[in-house]
Amino acid sequence: MAKTVEFFFDFGSPTAYLAWTQMPKLVAECDAELRYRPMLLGGVFKATGNASPVSVPAKGRWMHTDMPRWARRYGVPFALNPHFPINTLTLMRGAVGLQMQQPELFDRYCEVVFNAMWQQPRNLGDASVLAQVLGAAGFDVVPFTALVSDPDVKAALVANTEEAVARGVFGAPTCFVGEAMFFGQDRLEFVREALLVP
């Protein structure tokens, strides 16, 4: 029976983006399944007393060097978003809503949003910019606006976030293989090991 990786993420995390670029290949090589778990990182921070690493000036400066270093290691595009931090509530509701109602669009949505956040960075906290980005990618913005306002979608994002906190999540990205938790895009080799253990 194939093992499963649960990938808790928020589009606003640059390290979640870096991990996202690697996850499909990793699970394919391990003959595993990937389960995306959108959560609201701001809610996780509030519940756990954590904060963005860039709120610590020295760590923020270090991360601005380290993240491009990892992007080069992975061979993926990366650009710091000048609009960071961005309120990702609408973005994460969109992810949860598409999983619930139009799962066939979920992967494409993640690609569009992650790329507009961390490859050709746009201010996705601005509703007009988000509409432009989604429209250019072929998404119908009117149904999307209704989707992110759906009470069931809002409740599902809250539930995902509360579940993450209950399981010990304090930041993004966080992966689970069974009960084993792995935090950070620089722990993917440990995820791989967990998937390969019989």
pLDDT digits (tens, 9 = 90+) for 14-59: 999 999 999 999 999 999 999 999 999 999 999 999 998 888 999 9
Q: Which two tokens stand for residue 126?
A: 């601005």
The CATH number of the domain holding residue 58 is: 3.40.30.10
- CA angle, corner 76, sides to 135 and 42, nearest 5? 65
Residue 67 pLDDT grade (very low, low, confident, very high; cuts 50, 70, 90): very high
Q: Measuring CA to CA, which residue among 109, 150, 151, 157 is closest to residue 130?
A: 109
Model pTM score: 0.96
Q: Contact 96/157 with Cβ under 8 angstroms?
A: yes
Residue 122 CA to residue 133 CA, distance in Å, equals 9
Q: What is the pLDDT of residue 128?
A: 97
Q: How many domains does the chain have?
A: 1
Q: Which two tokens stand for residue 59?
A: 């760590």
Q: What is the pLDDT of residues 106-144, one digit of tens each?
A: 999 999 999 999 999 999 999 999 999 999 999 999 999
| Domain span holding position 121 | 4-196
Q: Which two tokens stand for residue 39?
A: 């959560």
Average pLDDT over residues 88-102: 98
Q: Contact 56/26 with Cβ under 8 angstroms?
A: no
Is 1's pLDDT higher than 80? no
Task: Give the full edge-to-edge strand order of the sheet including 180-183.
Answer: 33-38, 4-9, 174-177, 180-183
Q: Which two tokens stand for residue 77?
A: 């595009």
Q: What is the pLDDT of residue 2?
A: 83
SS3 of 61, please?
helix
Residue 81 CA to residue 122 CA, distance in Å, equals 7
Amino acid present at 148: V
Give kind and range of the element (H or E) at residue 154. helix 151-166
Amino acid present at 30: C
